[in-house]
Amino acid sequence: GAVVSQHPSWVICKSGTSVKIECRSLDFQATTMFWYRQFPKQSLMLMATSNEGSKATYEQGVEKDKFLINHASLTLSTLTVTSAHPEDSSFYICSAETSGIAYEQFFGPGTRLTVL
């Protein structure tokens, strides 16, 4: 299957700082990428859909000014958690969708964010 990478895999930051997470599709171009948040022992919660060259579409209840998404190219999307607080601590996972009729979605390995 296609490969999606995330960086960093683990980050600890102080409350009030901003953290940027990168998601890259390594061997295919992804017009659409998705950002999810996952709490322990729970399913994935879609935060936003990121389309290359346009503004991200945020799910209800997700603050777009807090979770900034930039999909600058067909292989890179970034999620910036601004003014992070302890309640933002979570496992953030991105995915990238291949194009065409036989589309598939591949996930990155996730980023564990801990806000102190």
Partner 1 sequence: QQQVKQSPQSLIVQKGGISIINCAYENTAFDYFPWYQQFPGKGPALLIAIRPDVSEKKEGRFTISFNKSAKQFSLHIMDSQPGDSATYFCAASMAGNQFYFGTGTSLTVIP
Binding site for partner 1 (CB under 8 A): 1, 4, 6, 32, 34, 41-44, 46, 49, 91, 93, 95, 101-110, 112
Cβ proximity to partner 1: between 28 and 91 the closer is: 91
Contact (CB, 8 A) for 13 and 75 = no
CB under 8 Å to 100, separation ≥6 — which residues?
Answer: none
Smallest gap from Cβ 25 to partner 1, in A, equals 13
Cβ proximity to partner 1: between 42 and 86 the closer is: 42
Cβ proximity to partner 1: between 10 and 18 the closer is: 10
Smallest gap from Cβ 19 to partner 1, in A, equals 18
Choose among 68, 72, 97: nearest CA to 83: 68
Contact (CB, 8 A) for 105 and 97 = yes
